[in-house]
Chains A and B, each alone.
Chain A
Amino acid sequence: MNIKAGPVNILIKALLTLMYAIPILWIVLTSFKSSADVFTTQASFIFKPTVAAYTEAFGPELLGALKQSILIAVGTTVGVLLFAIPAAYALARASGWLTNLGLGLLIVLQMMPHTTNVIPLFQIFGSWGILDSTLSLVVADTALLIPWATMLLRPFFRVVPVALEEAGRIDGASTLRSFWSIVLPVARNGVFTVGTLVFLLAWGEFLYAINFFLTPGKYPLSALIAMQVGAFGINWPGLMALAVMTSIPIVIVFICTYRLLRDGLTVGAVK
């Protein structure tokens, strides 16, 4: 089928292009401006580019935040997949009241506002004395994303033909064995898609980080941005430079997984 673009089509695409290109362009442009340029010619393209914002932002603090971001995002991705994959498989294959109860609970949990979870978790982590630790942040992020990841993974397991497993079972494979060596490889696209999405979400998470870490010294990059953007007299070039550096890993992940995201996101349609 060959659809030709009509004038309305072109108009919509032009508007969308402006809408999504301008913010990206502005992040990058502003990060190369000097603080003085921001206030005099903020809306213009003509300025003397400088890397001052980057050199100022770069230092042990930034590297520390980068390390925290990587730890949290990787830790959360591993944690979520570890719990969500078996749960999604079980919920994809079984039926009955327990499955329905589980699914209902997951739907409610995945819809819970983040701001609601943070209040009791702060209290619980406080009473257990595990605030201000990277591990407890990973645990909190993992708990936040398991319901959503499980719901997103389930359809990928449902489309794995049962006949494949039956064949495995006839050959004497246990449930665990047939899951590991038959089902999981077939559903690997789903696992990669969900893993990527969990990584992206954990990379951007900041609400738990700014509340559970008691000092900015342990903040990941996203929390640093959230802190700086709320301050009075924002240093815009510095903030945008920080935004660019925070986004570079996202660019890399995006380039590697774009096809997967484009086709896989629409499968579970849960965000």
Chain B
Amino acid sequence: MTTMTQAPPTAGADVRRFVATPVRPSSPVGGTQRRKRLDPARGGRRARMLFLLPAGLFLAVFSIYPLIQLCRMAVSDVTPATLGAAWKLVGFANVVKGWVSGATPQAIIRTLIFVVIVTILGMGIGFAGAVALRTKGRWSSILLALMVFVWALPPVVNGSVWKFLLGENGLFNGIIMGLHLADRPVPFLFDPSVALISVALVNSFAVIPFNALVYRAAMMNIDPEVFEAAQIDGANRWQEVRHILSPMARPTSLVLLVLTLVYGFRSFDYIYVMTAGGPGTATNTLPFLGYMQAFVRYDYGLGAATSVLTLLGVLVLAVVYTRSIRKEEGE
């Protein structure tokens, strides 16, 4: 069980990979490394386990213990008044309360819509972008740098400018009104049925650079001779994408797919900045709903219960992720 692995990056690695890497059709990203290694010296093993200790202890106190607290809160009645005191055990009352009020099922549906939009656009445009960015030249390298830069910016910065661009007097409504495409400005972020899609689109925008970068690296690893052979056989560009790039990028796609699913699922920063969950509850996805219940409605027990539900979602995704990595590594 490992993450995606690859040769260590060196300056100008793409170029070198082009020239020197032999064909590894089964795993363009994870190929250049031996899978199993023998422990060099048995005596070193125990010493190396000590290397795990600091992180283990730190995470036990600041990650695992909070998780236990979260589960305890989820089955208790916790309000700001009782936050620091003993909690009254209420069992599944919090979960039931969230479910009966309709908040939880609605949030689950919203989360699904959100994740589907982010995943389809993130994967689709990421792949298309990688195909386009494979070309050498100044435009491609500047565009790639621009995309990685936007990706590296704090989400609050990207979210703010998109809130501005999508506003009533923003650029998009300026264009729409200027071209007389609508009588009134489109309420991208103020209409309950549009807001969720708007935020999902901006979230896709935020994940595309990363996906394009990873896809591009996978494509760069394909032996150039494959393309030469295809060209001799008279393959056109579309056939090249269809019959070489997509199948070769499949192992990458699998891992990237899970990562994009996870990204969409746990996303909250763009929602926070652009709509704060609104209008009403229109953009409350499941992770965001838990936060709102705890820190806006001050019902920590209810918020914790909703968060435990998101945790179940995480567990499912983690299993899928682990399996896809195993598959990618061919274990």
Contacts and interface: CB of A to CB of B under 8 A. Distances in A.
Interface of A: 1-6, 8-9, 12-13, 16-17, 19-24, 26-27, 30, 38-39, 42-44, 82-84, 86-87, 89-91, 93-95, 98, 100, 102-105, 107-109, 111-124, 126-127, 139-140, 142-143, 146-147, 150-152, 154-156, 158-159, 162, 165-166, 169, 174-176, 179, 186-187, 189-190, 193, 200, 203-204, 206-207, 211, 222, 225-226, 229-230, 236, 239-240, 243, 246-247, 250-251, 253-254, 258-271
Given A119-B73, A154-B3, A247-B153, A13 B147 contact: no
Contact of A247 (B139, B140, B154, B255): B154
B182 to A, nearest CB: 15
A111 B314 CA distance: 6
A254 B322 contact: no
The 8 closest A-B pairs by CB, nearest first: A43-B174, A204-B154, A263-B9, A143-B62, A87-B55, A86-B51, A113-B287, A266-B217
Interface in B123-157: 125, 128-129, 131-137, 139-140, 143-150, 152-157
Contacts of A147: 59, 63
A66 B22 CA distance: 49
Interface in B263-317: 263, 265-266, 268-269, 272-273, 276, 287-288, 290-291, 294-295, 300, 303-304, 307, 310-311, 314-315, 317
Nearest to B171: A43
Given A86-B55, A104-B318, A204 B143 contact: no
Contacts of B155: 204
Given A230-B276, A258-B148, A83 B3 contact: no
A134 B143 CA distance: 37
Given A113-B265, A206-B269, 20 more contacts: A9-B135, A17-B143, A23-B165, A86-B51, A87-B54, A94-B39, A109-B63, A113-B287, A116-B287, A119-B303, A123-B84, A124-B66, A147-B63, A155-B2, A159-B5, A166-B41, A189-B9, A230-B272, A240-B164, A258-B149
Contact of A86 (B54, B161, B224, B272): B54
B90 to A, nearest CB: 16
Contact of A9 (B65, B132, B150): B132
B300 A269 contact: no
Given A83-B58, A115-B290, A229-B273, A250 B154 contact: yes
A48 to B, nearest CB: 18
B190 interface: no
Contacts of B180: none
A13 B139 contact: yes
A23 B121 CA distance: 19
A58 B310 CA distance: 41
B165 A26 contact: yes
B69 A120 contact: yes
A16 B310 contact: no
Given A23-B162, A116-B311, A124 B69 contact: yes
A174 B44 CA distance: 8
A113 to B, nearest CB: 4
9 contacts: A103-B1, A119-B70, A119-B304, A123-B300, A127-B83, A159-B6, A175-B48, A189-B8, A222-B156
Given A5-B137, A19-B205, A87-B54, A229 B163 contact: yes
Contact of B84 (A127, A154, A193, A243): A127
Contacts of B91: none
Contacts of A250: 149, 152-154
B181 interface: no
B154 A270 contact: no
B67 interface: yes
B269 A207 contact: yes
Nearest to B315: A108
Contact of A20 (B131, B147, B165, B175): B147
A200 B152 contact: yes
Contact of B66 (A121, A154, A270): A121
B102 interface: no
B3 A155 contact: yes
B321 interface: yes
Contact of B40 (A4, A6, A126, A165): A165
A44 to B, nearest CB: 8
